[in-house]
Amino acid sequence: MKPWQAIVAIVAISLGLTLMEVPSQTWWTPATLSLACGISALALMATAAILAGRWPWVESLFGGLDRVYNVHKWLGIWALALASVHLLFKAGDPLWQAEAILALPAATTRFVRQASFVALMVIVILALNRNIPYSVWRWWHRLSGPLFLIVLAHWLSIKSPIALGSAAGLWLAALAALGVIAAAYKLLLYPLVARHGHYRVVNVQRGAAAASIELEPVSHRAEFSPGHFGFLRMKADGLREPHPFTIASAPTPEGKITFVIRALGDYTTRLIAQVEPGMHADVYAPYGRFRRKPECEREIWIGGGVGISPFIAWLNDKEAERFEQVTLFYFFTPGRVFPDVSVLEEMARERGIEFVPISTGPKSEDFTARFAEIVRAADASQVDIAVCGPQGLLDSIRRAAREQGLRDRNIRYELFAFR
């Protein structure tokens, strides 16, 4: 499910249920618009809280946790937009039979109404502000659950034609209950009951502003497949923030797990500089749906920078077959390459994969010419393009594929950044 599909479905249901509860002669009034926008905003907020719980069934619905994070972001943005419309107009009409579900003093009801909009605005601004250091942002964002309770208090205390036992009331109550449960689970129980393993760092290889970190299980190893990602939480002062990284290894009998990490922010820079063998960590995994498709007749793997990680995992999968049908394009910046091109080239040679390193960008002749040759020589319906890298690289690959007559459905990708 795409973000727009989820948003349209939630808003459409909210609008339809709202119209069922108000007289038809008031449907085309600012009051009904305000009421429908308020109900839709609350439904979107509750859904965002549900998605934040990282429940496996939610990940399956949207095709991976990376997609869930993207949907979560857009739910918040549209909730704020609709709440703004709700604030502009009074959600009341003389023809409505309006009562509060939870009667509060008038002053308290008025304060909660104002505070609910401020709470939603704070949640969205904090979520989208990339200038806030992650260590600060993470703790502020944990307030989203408690702030959501303020929005619920507004819904329950304001006079409205939506009774709790009505269809619209039950719709909001169900979403709100799941949202509160998900927020409480993520805030209090997730570190204890989520799928995770306890590991110890056994090897660290550093390169140009990057590092390969190998860990072995101490207890409760994480079960994963090549292409999955996990949240790494080091058990060391200053490094305890859980961050998502693609797993750059395939499962082994010993249960070891490897992450290739590039210094892209304050935390990753600190991690690369300070991590040492002997340190302990928790790995929350598996997440994601970025899997290889060997059933296709022609596979094109495209990794950009540290986006090479899932393809390293696929290369290391000893049980996998049909590598002769694969071409691996690796886009890198000279002086910032890790692992070294020669290392990747040797790994590809051992598996019989065509390896094409590109240091000049996706518009270079080295890429466009070879990419076109591969596509022209294959059945378009049997070409699978797997991409992991920055958004700019993905956009360029899409344009190149369309120029060769391929559709977007030929391209699978893992979102490169969550925040």
pLDDT, position 96 = 92
* Whether residue 119 is found in the same domain as residue 35: yes
Q: Is-cis flag, bond preceding 339, omega within 30? A: yes
The SS3 of residue 234 is strand
pLDDT, position 267 = 86
pLDDT averaged over every residue in the chain: 90
Q: Are the C-beta atoms of 248 and 212 separated by less than 8 Å?
A: yes
* Residue 29 pLDDT level (bands cut at 50, 70, 90): very high
* Residue 106 pLDDT level (bands cut at 50, 70, 90): confident
Give yes or no for residue 399 having a pLDDT over 90: yes
Give yes or no for residue 315 having a pLDDT over 90: yes
Whether residue 292 lies inside any domain: the answer is no
- Top-confidence range, 108-112, 157-161, 167-171: 167-171
CA distance linking residue 190 with residue 182, whole number of Å: 10
Mean pLDDT in residue range 256-283: 92
Neighbours of 240 (CB within 10 A): 12
Answer with the one of 193, 213, 242 that is the final residue of a domain.
193
Q: What percent of the chain has pLDDT over 70?
A: 97
Give yes or no for residue 419 having a pLDDT over 60: no
pLDDT, position 103 = 87
Give yes or no for residue 39 having a pLDDT over 90: yes
Nearest partner of 245 among 328, 313, 301, judged by Cα: 313
pLDDT, position 135 = 66
- Output the pTM of the full model: 0.83
Q: 70 φ, ψ to 5°?
A: -65, -45
* Whether residue 187 is found in the same domain as residue 201: no
* Whether residue 178 is found in the same domain as residue 262: no
The SS3 of residue 256 is coil
Which CATH number do you get for residue 112?
1.20.120
* Residue 116 pLDDT level (bands cut at 50, 70, 90): confident
pLDDT, position 188 = 86
102-111, 167-176, 341-350, 363-372: segment of lowest average pLDDT: 102-111
Count of the separate structural domains present in the chain: 3
pLDDT, position 194 = 84
Give yes or no for residue 117 having a pLDDT over 90: no
Whether residue 419 lies inside any domain: the answer is no
Mean pLDDT in residue range 258-274: 90
pLDDT, position 134 = 66
Nearest partner of 175 among 47, 53, 73, judged by Cα: 47
Which CATH number do you get for residue 238?
2.40.30.10
Nearest partner of 72 among 86, 57, 54, 60, judged by Cα: 54
* Whether residue 319 is found in the same domain as residue 403: yes
Answer with the one of 193, 212, 247 that is the final residue of a domain.
193
* Residue 169 pLDDT level (bands cut at 50, 70, 90): very high
* Residue 342 pLDDT level (bands cut at 50, 70, 90): very high
* Whether residue 185 is found in the same domain as residue 156: yes
Whether residue 293 lies inside any domain: the answer is no
Domain containing 263 equals: 196-287
Mean pLDDT in residue range 206-221: 91
